[in-house]
Each structure stands twice: as C-alpha cells, then as structure tokens.
C-alpha cells in the first residue's frame, strides 16, 4: 500500500509516518529473497514496523495439516531478514505477529485447524524466542512441550505415519494423521479399481466377475475405515468447535471421495448378484453418437450500487 502511494505521487510521507504503523506480511519459505533493498528503505523513517509470519493457513486454500518445516523456515528467515534490514537500513522493528488463518477468505473452505497446528505453533514460537533451532531444542519441543512419542512431521512423509502426542488438541492432530492414512489407502485402492471399474462399466452394468470380487474386497475395507473415521472425526470436532464445523470439513475433504467409493461398492455388489453371463459386443447402450454442446457463457462484472 505504501509503495502504491509513493508510485501515485503521494509526497506527504511525514504526515503518513505519524498516522500509520506498517505491518509487512510474508508467508513464503524464504523471506530473504522476497523483498529488495528499495523496499526496506521506504520503511526506515517509521518509528514502528511490524512483520507477520504464519504457523498455519498459508500452505494452500485446501490444506489439512500444518507441516512444521514450511512455517519454521518462515520464522527463521524472517528473523534473518529483520536483522539485516535493521542493521543495513535502520528499520525499527517492533515485533512479529504469528498468524494462523482458518480460511483464505470468507467465501472459502476451512484450511488447517488450530488444534492440529499446535506443533507448528510451538516450533514457530521457539524459533522466534531462541533465534535458531538446535538438536537439543528440537527434542525439548517434541518430547517435553508437545509430549509426542516421536518427532512431529516436518514435511508430509512418503508413507502413512501416525504420531501420538499429549498436548491440548492432540485428538484433532491424530485425526489428521488418520485422514492422511485413509487418503493414501484410497489412492492405492482406486488405482487398482479404476483398471476394472470404469464409467462405461457403471453405465452398462457390465463387469469382469473375478476382478469385481477383488475390487469389492478392497473397497469394502476402505469404506469401513471411512465410516469409522467420519463418526470419530465429528466426535473429536465437538470437543473444540461448534456443531457445524465437523460436517463442513467432511463435505470439503472427504464426502466426495466417500460417495465415489460407495458408488463403486453398490455397483459391484449388485453386479455380482445379478450378472450371470457376459454380454456380446457391441454393448447395447453404446451405439449412439456422443454429442457435446458448446456453452455460451459470458461473465459480467459485478456492479455495486451505492445508496
């Protein structure tokens, strides 16, 4: 905003300095490369300058887990950037606001929960307090502050990992690990099922019997895990949030996937009970030409009327 004022020809910076306390936001991994020298020179005259880092809510609009690595690096490089800017350009930093958005804006879906982000918050605050993490401090945060039986994840692992802890909110944190495990199993299961159950099979009610049995067995196991998770997750949410949060989160992150699994399960169960022979090709409902119409949609600017 200040840059825009300067570029627009605003010259009364002395008056602006008396009225404004700047807050500089940057949630990237490496803040050092985010601002150039001319940027910091603009803030040197201000008696107070704040910066904003993040411990959650900056990894993507649709994100379930605040992995520590990104947020710890954000704090670390902010400290390094502030040190350089204060020494080189005499910027008067007052403090860091460690932010944690729950939505990217009012109209968007929930991102990471506060309880699941406590490990990220702990590492972020300890980084700011001590300036840098050491192996000893890392172990202290993990075991003594968070009460975790193993090191919390800094990045998403290549395989399903379950970490148990004792910090307030650990129930939701552990739920997110269960969710990650279920989604990995979903990817693995559907990679197999989609080889043998495609949209044409659903439309024609037509299936390879042996492959249907194999697919159904895998899908039933996945469906059962999802059903248990849906119930347990909503119970965990009620410990921390109002009753609307659990269903909203599930609608955002799981129910579409769950319905896809149920659709395949219902189809395979029905087909295995009713199909007694293989239809001759070409399949009876598959002879009509596919016609796709082009949409004619125009986007009009939103016009706001003021009274």
Q: What pLDDT is stored for residue 207 in this prediction?
A: 87
Tell me if 120 sits within 8 A of 68, measured CB to CB. Answer: yes
In this predicted structure, what is the pLDDT of residue 7? 58
* Predicted confidence (pLDDT) per residue in 61-74, tens digit: 999 999 999 999 99
| Summary mean pLDDT of the chain | 91
Q: Is the pLDDT of residue 121 over 50?
A: yes
Nearest CA to 26 out of 60, 52, 4 is that of 52
> What predicted TM-score, i.e. pTM, was given to this entire model?
0.87
Average pLDDT (220-247) is 98
pLDDT of residue 172: 96
What's the full length of the chain, in residues? 307
Question: Going by C-beta distance under 8 Å and a sequence separation of 6 or more, which residues neighbour residue 97?
Answer: 23, 50, 51, 52, 53
Q: Which two tokens stand for residue 19?
A: 């009225």
| Residue in the block written with tokens 């039933």 | 220
The per-residue pLDDT for range 156-205, each reduced to its tens digit, is 888 888 899 999 999 999 999 999 999 999 999 999 999 999 988 888 88
Q: Give residue 285's pLDDT band: very low, low, confident or very high (50, 70, 90).
A: low
Least trusted range by pLDDT, from 147-161, 182-196, 217-231: 147-161
CA dist 42 and 59 (Å) reads 29
pLDDT tens track for 43-52: 999 999 999 9
DSSP code string of 53-82: EEEES-S-SS-----HHHHHHHHHHHHHHH
User: Average of pLDDT values for 120-148?
Assistant: 96
- What pLDDT, on the 0 to 100 scale, is given for residue 113? 97
């Amino acid at each position: 905003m200040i840059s825009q004022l300067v570029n627009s020809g605003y010259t009364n910076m002395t008056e602006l300095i008396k009225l404004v306390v700047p807050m500089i936001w940057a949630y990237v991994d490496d803040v050092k490369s985010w601002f150039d020298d001319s940027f910091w020179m603009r803030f040197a005259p201000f008696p107070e300058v704040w910066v904003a880092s993040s411990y959650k809510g900056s990894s993507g609009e649709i994100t379930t887990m605040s992995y520590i690595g990104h947020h710890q690096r954000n704090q670390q490089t902010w400290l390094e950037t502030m040190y350089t800017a204060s020494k080189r350009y005499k910027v008067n930093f007052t403090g860091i606001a460690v932010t944690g958005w729950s939505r990217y804006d009012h109209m968007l879906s929930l991102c990471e929960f506060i309880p699941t982000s406590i490990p990220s918050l702990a590492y972020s605050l300890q980084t700011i307090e001590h300036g840098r993490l050491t192996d000893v401090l890392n172990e202290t945060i993990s075991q003594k502050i968070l009460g975790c039986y193993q090191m919390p994840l800094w990045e998403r692992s290549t395989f399903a990992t379950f970490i148990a802890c004792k910090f307030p909110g650990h129930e939701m944190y552990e739920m997110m690990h269960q969710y990650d495990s279920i989604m990995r199993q979903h990817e693995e299961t559907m990679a197999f099922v989609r080889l043998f159950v495609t949209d044409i099979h659903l439309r024609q009610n037509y299936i390879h019997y042996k492959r249907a049995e194999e697919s159904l067995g895998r899908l039933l196991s996945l469906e059962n895990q999802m059903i248990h998770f849906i119930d347990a997750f909503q119970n965990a949410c009620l410990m921390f949030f109002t009753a609307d949060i659990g269903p909203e989160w599930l609608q955002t992150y799981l129910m579409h996937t769950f319905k896809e699994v149920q659709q395949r399960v219902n189809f395979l169960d029905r087909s295995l009970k009713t199909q007694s022979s293989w239809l001759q090709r070409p399949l009876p409902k598959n002879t009509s030409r596919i016609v796709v119409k082009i949409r004619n949609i125009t986007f009009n600017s939103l016009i706001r009327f003021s009274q």
